[in-house]
Structure 1
Amino acid sequence: MSSPWIEGLRSIALYVPDLARAEDFYTRTWNLEVAQRGDGVLYLRGTGTDAYLLALHQGSEAPQVRQVTLRARSREALGAIQASVVAAGGSVLAEPHELTRDPAGGIGLKFKDPHGRVFQVVHGDARRPDGAAVKDRPIRLTHVVLNSHAVDETQAFLADALGFRLADRTGIMAFMNCARDHHTIAIGIADNDALNHIAFLMPDFESVMRGGGRMKDAGFPIQWGPGRHGPGNNLFNYFIDPFGVVIEYTAEVEQIDDSYVSHGPEHWKWPPGRVDQWGISPAPGPTLKEAQKRIFFAPQP
């Protein structure tokens, strides 16, 4: 256990310009299912215990991130996080309160970091029965990657406010750990503070590959992959959804504990021409790179 307060990543909320199109894509093509509908919002779940993974809200023409939701280890952790967020330079948007409008319920705290990224931390939200994984369907979210124009500051905030620790750092990314997954939030070294991508955990290698074929058949080609990352040792295929959001199918994410030794950029180097362990796929092209810096958090007061 790295963070004394955060158990993991629960869900992500996005504003999208077309809810009907979003539902069609994320259910028929990405293989999630509808958990619940609300007024101007759609909740989608995987096969795991989380009540939902994506909350898609009707928005304007440009998609935006509404919030990233993490799960707290205890009710008491919410109070500790609230104090730590303020001490670390963040702003509390809503103190711990009953989430009566959220289909998963629970107690939630909402805040933004010094660069405007909005987080919610929940405890006591509804969980589904623990069932067997289903081939070719996402189980849960495993990580989100957020770009930062000030990586050291963002890294320090996640450590001070949420108790994350640095698992590894490469020349392009800082991988932040809170529990068993190698990383739950990674920070992309960039000149912007956009959403880089959202990663969905698949049951196995076969599901990552079959997902790539299904996406290709539907007109959404693999933008990067198949491959196996260095930090996290996970399999990957990257895609761009109908609204420009970068999404990843991944599996076999490395599980670590407090004995894991962090490495820096000098360790994570590839031979010329390679950008992952296998060296099968070319490096990400301009289409993916541009998409990874277009989706921003919605402004908050």
Structure 2
Amino acid sequence: MQTLQTSTPARLCYLHLASKDAQRQIDFYRRMLDMDSQAQADGSWVLSGPQRAMLVSPADHSGLLAAAFDLGNQPRLQALRVRLLGNGGIIEEVDSPLLEPGAFLIRDPQGRQTIFGVARPARQTSRPGMPGRLQHVVFQTTELEAMIDFYVNTVGFTVSDNVVDEQTGQLMTCFLRSDDEHHTLAFFRGSKNEWDHHCYETNEWNDIRDWGDRFAKERITIFFGPGRHGPGNNLFFMVVDADRNRLEFSAELEVTDASRQPGVWAQEEYTLNSWGRAWIRS
């Protein structure tokens, strides 16, 4: 079976956020994540920093509108388009200031939008920035099995690890990869259908320390971590942005061979944080 990892590797390249207070949100990412901003004709803003980018659109609500993946080149993008159509996927054309012409999106059964395209060359900036590559996005869902079926069998993600309730045997969490990194997408079973968090991958433990110090200076409190996840084996901590969206900083995320079989973990605090207490979704 062809997968994203084996035939058309895809890397998360930007998020499109809606914001009820767009200027406050833009100011947060400019100040805290070293991102420059540029107004667009449609009223949205492009934010860009070292290996990270996003679109922010003013709206009557706040949250995630779409997650965009970079295929690296046009032949890979075209091959993915053909495969998605062959798998019964319905695609919609996308015009994005961050992607070359030819980008498209696909909607999952609950309406989430995933964009695929080829990233435009990063804007040149003299502004220094701390390391933190936009790396993964995570959701909560009331229909976990349906989401996994769609993203694996229609889109081509690969399951890296499953988290299972040992008493009931019910699947609780699934980590999915689109390239050699342990996950670029994950789903938690929850009582809501909502965006859970997004993550920036740093280079090493000292970067985690430095990001923590930066948020401490602004009196932005870590609400989960620091610790180490079981699935993915990465160091991490989590904070919230100006709209209370959750963001994670990570280091040492597992690199995963295509032949690796999915792992199985128990649904317990130790799985989500081997160093101590964990945030358990409900």
TM bracket, shorter-chain basis: 0.7 to 0.9
Q: What SS class does the counterpart of residue 187 from structure 1 fall into?
A: strand
Question: Who is 1:293 aligned against?
Answer: none
Q: What is the identity, as a one-letter code, of the residue corresponding to 2:116?
A: V
Q: 1:229 to 1:72 in 2, by over 3 A?
A: same
Residues 200-209 or 179-188, more deviating: 200-209
Q: What is the identity, as a one-letter code, of the residue corresponding to 1:145?
A: V
Q: CA deviation at 1:103?
A: 4.3
Deviations 1:148-202 (A, max 9, x none): 2111111111112221110001133100012121001011111322101000112
Question: Who is 1:153 aligned against?
Answer: 146
Q: What SS class does the counterpart of residue 278 from structure 2 fall into?
A: coil
- Aligned-pair identity in percent equals 23
Q: What SS class does the counterpart of residue 27 from structure 2 fall into?
A: helix
Q: What SS class does the counterpart of residue 183 from structure 2 fall into?
A: coil
Q: What SS class does the counterpart of residue 263 from structure 2 fall into?
A: coil
Are positions 1:276 and 2:273 aligned together?
A: yes
Distance 1:212 1:206 in 2: 10
Question: Who is 2:36 aligned against?
Answer: 34
Deviations 1:105-144 (A, max 9, x none): 3420122111100111002x3233999xx7x724321110
- What is the 5 A alignment of 1:38-187? 38-39=40-41, 40-48=43-51, 52-60=52-60, 62-82=61-81, 84-85=83-84, 90-94=89-93, 99=95, 102-123=97-118, 125-128=119-122, 137-171=130-164, 172-187=172-187
TM-score (norm 2): 0.84
The counterpart of 2:18, out of the listed 11, 15, 22, is 15
Q: What SS class does the counterpart of residue 242 from structure 2 fall into?
A: coil
CA RMSD of aligned residues (A): 2.8
Distance 2:111 2:86 in 1: 16
Deviations 1:10-49 (A, max 9, x none): 11100111222112211212x232153313222222323x
Are positions 1:261 and 2:256 aligned together?
A: no
Q: Is the Cα contact below 8 Å between 2:183 and 2:232 reproduced in 1?
A: yes
Question: Who is 2:245 aligned against?
Answer: 245
Distance 1:153 1:89 in 2: 15
Residues 80-89 or 163-172, more deviating: 80-89
Q: What SS class does the counterpart of residue 214 from structure 2 fall into?
A: helix
Q: CA deviation at 1:73?
A: 4.9
Q: CA deviation at 1:216?
A: 2.9
Deviations 1:80-121 (A, max 9, x none): 444554565653232xx6x4x514434201221111001110
Q: What SS class does the counterpart of residue 143 from structure 1 fall into?
A: strand
Unaligned residue ranges in structure 2 (runs of 5+): 165-171
Q: CA deviation at 1:54?
A: 1.3
Q: CA deviation at 1:203?
A: 2.6
Q: What is the identity, as a one-letter code, of the residue corresponding to 1:63?
A: S
Distance 2:101 2:88 in 1: 26
Distance 1:212 1:220 in 2: 9
Distance 1:262 1:129 in 2: 38
Count of paired positions: 269
TM-score (norm 1): 0.79
